[in-house]
Amino acid sequence: MQQSRRTHGVFVILKGTATVQIAGQARVTEISPGEVCGEISFIDELPATADVVAHSDTEAYYVDRPTLQSLFELFPHLGSRFYRSLASILSRRLREVLAHQTGESTSAAKEGGISKKTTAK
């Protein structure tokens, strides 16, 4: 997946790993089997916010918007579960970014314990 290009769907990593790289940022995030990428572009229908680079022998499944829309029409409950899952993924990733910026551990971010660190004088 390339930054600044629309994806029109989401990718699910099946095997291997990939790195998520955002231009101008030194931090690189790794995604592994079961994780998705392209979700931001899928939701807002704008270009991707990052490059995703697969490592050797990585397999991913691509699901395009029309296929998902057809599934949601056949199984309406699937749509709400899908978007709830995307919201959870985005929430977790945002907490991880905030934790990185504030210096908190990633485990605190996953538990929802994001707070700006302050020191008493």
Tens of pLDDT, residues 14-23: 999 999 988 8
Domain that holds residue 58: 9-110
Any domain includes 103: yes
The helix/strand/coil state of 121 is coil
Any domain includes 53: yes
- Strand ordering across the sheet containing 36-37: 36-37, 9-15, 59-64
CATH of the domain at 91: 2.60.120.10
How far is the C-alpha of 49 from the C-alpha of 97, rounded, in Å? 14
Bridge partners of 19, per DSSP, are 30, 53
In a 10 Å sphere around its CB, with 0-12 CB exposed, 13-18 middle and 19+ buried, how is residue 38 labelled? buried
Any domain includes 118: no
Any domain includes 3: no
Q: Give residue 115's pLDDT band: very low, low, confident or very high (50, 70, 90).
A: very low
Tens of pLDDT, residues 40-52: 999 999 999 899 9
DSSP secondary structure string for all residues of 66-109: HHHHHHHHH-HHHHHHHHHHHHHHHHHHHHHHHHHHHT--HHHH
- Strand ordering across the sheet containing 18-21: 28-31, 18-21, 51-54
Tens of pLDDT, residues 87-112: 999 999 889 888 888 876 555 545 54
Any domain includes 39: yes
Bridge partners of 15, per DSSP, are 59
Q: What is the pLDDT of residue 107?
A: 54
Any domain includes 2: no
Number of domains in the chain: 1
